[in-house]
Amino acid sequence: MKTYETVIVIDSLLKNEEIDEIVNKVERVISNNGGIILNIDRWGKKRLAYEIKKRQYGYYVEIDFDAPPNLIHILEREYRLEENILRYLSVHLNKKALEYRERQKVTKVETVADAGESSELPINELSEDFEVENSAFNENEANAFIEPPAETKS
């Protein structure tokens, strides 16, 4: 079996129950045809780069799964038949992509662990560190963002 990733864009005007129903249908198609779902990541409602079927927003869902190669044709046929799926993309994750994902997971875990250690500092110490790091930002620059521009005479 090979590892695949599919991203689908669902019409954002649907109710949450209808979106869940579409995602569950995709899960059933994958599992009924010999696939194993590894991860489902719901990105949520995002603005589209361009209008699709007169929609400016879509609900994004990413599904990672292991499956035999013939499942992709079946899955994409289901995508085409479902009128509420605006766009889809399925890709095979090669060995390099899988290694990269594993490194990202390790990095994310280390970052979370480091953040847990740094949160033990009192709030005063954190704010002092922030002021020292950003000392190059002077008051004149700060006021330029706060004050409205001077009125011009016509």
**pLDDT at 127 exceeding the cut of 70:** no
Shared domain for 64 and 124, answered yes or no, is: no
Shared domain for 13 and 89, answered yes or no, is: yes
Shared domain for 37 and 59, answered yes or no, is: yes
CATH number for the domain harbouring residue 41: 3.30.70.60
Shared domain for 8 and 53, answered yes or no, is: yes
Into how many domains does the chain fold? 2
CA torsion angle for 105, 76, 81, 49 (degrees, to 10)?
A: 50
**pLDDT at 76 exceeding the cut of 50:** yes
Give the pLDDT of residue 143. Answer: 46
CB neighbourhood size of 86 (10 A): 20
**pLDDT at 144 exceeding the cut of 60:** no
Q: Is 70 helix (H, G, I), strand (E, B) or coil?
A: coil
Domain that holds residue 112: 99-146
Shared domain for 19 and 81, answered yes or no, is: yes
Residue 41 contacts residue 61 (beta carbons within 8 Å):
yes
Residue 76 contacts residue 60 (beta carbons within 8 Å):
no
Shared domain for 87 and 105, answered yes or no, is: no
Does residue 26 fall inside a structural domain? yes
CA atoms within 13 A on the CB side of 73: 3
Average pLDDT, the chain: 80
CA gap 67, 29 in Å, rounded? 11
| Percent of the chain surpassing pLDDT 70 | 75
